């Protein structure tokens, strides 16, 4: 394992996923095989209980022509986020309880707050900050405001925590969860 990668105990990180650069993965987070997390322009910090499915690409990518070593930009991803199959995320910052549905794309000028849902196939490219509980859906990227945050995928996460270690090699956690609860 390369040096910059920190996996907090309790996280399930499959060996076949691709982690590059300075990546921190919080406890309870599940990373499926063939997901890639690439900390190119700065570190990526992923919170707790996130679900990162196959073919997901999370990239910390500085805007074109703005790579400078002095001003390192961190990509902080909160807790309880779901990244569904084949989504591509290059956002500036992501809060908690968001869902990125399959094949969605979030560009590198977008800030996501909490409880947002980016619908399947939706592409967000323009500079913007999504308000809490915003839902983007449909081929025209219609926007509406949800009543509440999307429900966490607890059942699915529990199953995966049980099943994944039976069929996949896991990367060993190298950080102890210092939040004793």
Nearer of residues 143 and 160 to other proteins, judged by Cβ: 143
Nearer of residues 62 and 141 to other proteins, judged by Cβ: 141
Nearer of residues 17 and 110 to other proteins, judged by Cβ: 110
CB proximity list for 102: less than 8 A, separation 6 or greater = 84, 85, 86, 87, 120, 121
Min CB(120)–other proteins separation in Å: 9
- Is residue 99 packed enough to be buried (19+ CB in 10 Å), middle (13-18) or exposed (0-12)? buried
CB proximity list for 31: less than 8 A, separation 6 or greater = 11, 12, 13, 14, 17, 25, 37, 52
Min CB(180)–other proteins separation in Å: 30
Residues that bind other proteins (CB under 8 A): 117, 119, 134-135, 137-138, 142-147, 150
Nearer of residues 17 and 130 to other proteins, judged by Cβ: 130
Min CB(119)–other proteins separation in Å: 7
Q: How far apart are CA 127 and CA 109, in angstroms?
A: 5
């Amino acid at each position: 394992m390369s040096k910059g990668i920190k996996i907090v105990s309790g996280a399930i990180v499959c060996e076949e996923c691709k982690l590059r650069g300075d990546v921190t993965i919080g406890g309870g987070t599940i990373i499926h095989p063939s997901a890639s997390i690439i900390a190119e322009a700065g570190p990526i910090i992923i919170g707790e209980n996130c679900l990162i499915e196959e073919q997901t690409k999370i990239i910390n990518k500085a805007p074109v022509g703005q790579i400078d070593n002095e001003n390192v930009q961190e990509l902080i991803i909160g807790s309880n986020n779901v990244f569904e199959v084949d989504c591509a995320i290059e956002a500036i910052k992501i809060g908690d309880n968001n869902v990125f549905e399959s094949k969605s794309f979030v560009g590198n000028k977008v800030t996501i707050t909490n409880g947002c849902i980016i619908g399947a196939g939706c592409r967000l490219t323009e500079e913007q900050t999504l308000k809490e509980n915003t839902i983007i859906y449909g081929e025209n990227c219609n926007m509406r405001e949800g009543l509440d945050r999307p429900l966490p995928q607890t059942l699915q996460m529990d199953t995966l925590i049980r099943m994944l270690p039976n069929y996949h090699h896991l990367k060993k956690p190298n950080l102890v969860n210092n939040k004793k609860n």
